[in-house]
Amino acid sequence: MTHTFILASASPRRRQLLAEAGYSFEVDPSDLIESEPLAGVAPAEYAADLAWRKARAVADRRKTGLILAADTVCAVGAEILNKPIDRDDAERMIRLQEGHDTEVITGLCLYRADRPEWLGAVEISVVRFRPLSDSERRSYLDSGRWEGKSGGYGVQDHDPFVTVAGGSFSNVVGLPMERLAELLAAHPNFMK
């Protein structure tokens, strides 16, 4: 790949996806405090805004470079599920999703720090979440695998109760690689 990014994220999953796709990048997390969404804000709007704010924070600090930022949330209907704050919050999220399809929404932002100009996109995938028995739920919550994961689960961890029912697998992991490639291909002058 000819593009070198400054990844505005500390996510090991995003780093792995970029590395596996052959992109060159360095990591400079935005350290943006992710505020809870305001009432009535659509999940896609919320994810896109957070991605833009993360990219802008790094661009303001760096002054040059191509910043890549993303933010992934889960949504059941209009309810946005961020990363659980504790075990009780993880249980609430898991119970809310059980037996339902959950949307996994990633806002993606490419930001040119030196101009400043930016491109954005939103990718939506669907995850099917099967009902859990009380012992399965308790075992999962006790494992701590829900920590740091939007919606309280990670499809990349092969959690047996979730399957990608539609859309991009990499989006569910946290970075829609197909959409990133489309943005880069559709806007070659943006990269110069």
**How big is the CA angle at 84 (ends 149 and 100), to the nearest 5 degrees?**
75
CB 43 within 8 A of CB 73: yes
Residue type, 82: N
Which alpha helices (H) appear in 30-175, and where do they start and end?
A: 43-62, 87-97, 134-143, 169-173
The number of beta carbons lying within 10 Å of the beta carbon of residue 100 is 13
Q: Is 142 a catalytic residue?
A: no
> Which residue type is seen at 145?
R
Q: Could you tell me which of 101, 125, 113, 112 has the C-alpha nearest to residue 178?
A: 125
- Tell me which of 28, 31, 49, 71 is the catalytic residue: 71
Q: Which stretch of DSSP H or E encloses residue 143?
A: helix 134-143
| Residue 145 Cα to chain centre, angstroms | 17
Indicate which residues carry an active-site annotation. 71
